[in-house]
Amino acid sequence: MGTLQEGKRLFNLKRWDLARNELLEVNSDNLTSAETTELSYYLGLCYTKLEQYEDGLFHLEQVIAAESHAPWVRQCRMTLAYIYVVTNRYKLAEFELGQLLRNGLESAQIYTTLAYAAYGQKNYQGAVELYEKALELDGNNATAINGLGYILVDTDMDLMRGLRFCKKAVELKPQNPAYLDSLGWAYYKLGDAAEARTWLHRAIELAPHSEDIRNHMRVLVGETK
């Protein structure tokens, strides 16, 4: 028989699979209403960490429906928005984030996620404005810095400005493969194949299975356009 306490302990240790299995063994008949909501909350987060998104959605939506603990609800909406973005359901992501904004919660994380949703819908100018809004709240937010830089170079909107943002993101987090990839792509767009190869190689060494990085490398070596 699993326990909520042990499931939370395993979750905090980042043992997502063990935490999920422990929480699934909890007998919810013995829990209070608040504990049942907490169980759904941690199960939803575990499934999200394990990239089992549909199961994550099921449990997170139960937390929102319970409306019992505001911090849990806020975190669930952020997580739901993340799931909707990575599964290309951008309008649903915008709805969840809009709910947070309407409730007076404003953060760089919300605006960066909204920016990503805008980018996914090819609203490039809107994405730029949202990333800039995120940076107004947190000037060293590496996610926003990288996202803004990537859009500026990928769309040819402002190559030199984009390069500066991509460089700054790498300076902040030099081991992030996505940021290394953006910098490599920026150099490629500027016609500097040697620099592009250097940074894309570093990115692919850290994330060899990333299809985005591999696609950029293919373009660089002339396999595709």
Q: Which neighbouring-strand residues pair with 26?
A: 2
Number of H helices, E strands in the chain: 13, 0
Structure tokens at 116: 């990503």
Structure tokens at 72: 């849990």
Q: pLDDT by residue (tens digit) across 186-206?
A: 999 999 999 999 999 999 999
- Measure Cα distances from 184 to 26, 123, 124, 128, 130 in Å: 48, 23, 20, 20, 24
Specify whether the CB–CB gap between 186 and 163 falls below 8 A.
Answer: yes
**In terms of Cα–Cα distance, which of 72, 78, 64 is closest to 109?**
78
C-alpha 79/C-alpha 42 separation (Å) is 12
The pLDDT, as a whole number, for residue 223 is: 55
The pLDDT, as a whole number, for residue 69 is: 64
Q: pLDDT by residue (tens digit) across 66-122?
A: 866 667 888 999 999 999 999 999 999 999 999 999 989 999 999 999 999 999 999
Higher pLDDT, 29 or 180: 180
The pLDDT, as a whole number, for residue 168 is: 98
Domains of the chain from N-terminus onward: 140-225 (1.25.40.10)
Structure tokens at 153: 């170079």
Alpha helices in 16-141 (DSSP H): 16-24, 33-49, 53-66, 70-86, 90-102, 108-120, 124-137
C-alpha 69/C-alpha 26 separation (Å) is 21
Q: pLDDT by residue (tens digit) across 17-59?
A: 999 999 999 998 888 988 999 999 999 999 999 999 999 999 9
pTM value surpassing 0.75: yes
Q: How confident is the model at residue 129 (pLDDT cuts 50, 70, 90)?
A: very high
